[in-house]
Amino acid sequence: MKGDDFVFTITAKIKISPSLFQQQLLSDTMNAYTAACNFVSAYIFQSHDLVQASVNRVVYYDIRNDFTLRSQMAQSVQKTVIARYKTIQETTNKWIQPQFNKPQYDLVWNRDYS
């Protein structure tokens, strides 16, 4: 592997000061994201499908319509859930359905913010 072939992931914690209206919008979005994660988790638990392309074909429009998430967020939901399943598989070697309880929201650079 060449030195310039490495891929880096950077996670940043930031502090924001939203207005009360913005706080409600952010809370609603995080709750919808979490609910969508549980929806996708239930589908994957039943189907045992961890391939994003095939999961996407089944759940994408439901995520967009039922949870009113934008396109990039719908993709992020799927990636988040698939990654959680793969982590569980690697650490326990069992098929366990993860539950998403804490509000969360994954942002993608140059898609959700820049």
Please check whether residue 111 lies inside any domain of the structure.
no
110 token code pair: 């140059």
Amino acid at 94: K
Please check whether residue 38 lies inside any domain of the structure.
yes
- Tens digit of pLDDT for each residue in 81-96? 999 999 999 999 999 9
Which residue, 44, 40, 42, 28, is CA-closest to 103?
A: 28
Please check whether residue 100 lies inside any domain of the structure.
no
29-63 residues labelled b (16+ CB within 10 A) or e (exposed): beebbbbbbbbbbebbeeeebeeeeebbeebbeeb
Domain limits at 56?
Answer: 19-92
Checking if the pLDDT of 110 tops 60, the result is yes
Total domains present in the chain = 1
Q: Fill in the DSSP letter of residue 18.
A: -
Please check whether residue 108 lies inside any domain of the structure.
no
The pLDDT of residue 3 is: 57
The pLDDT of residue 66 is: 98
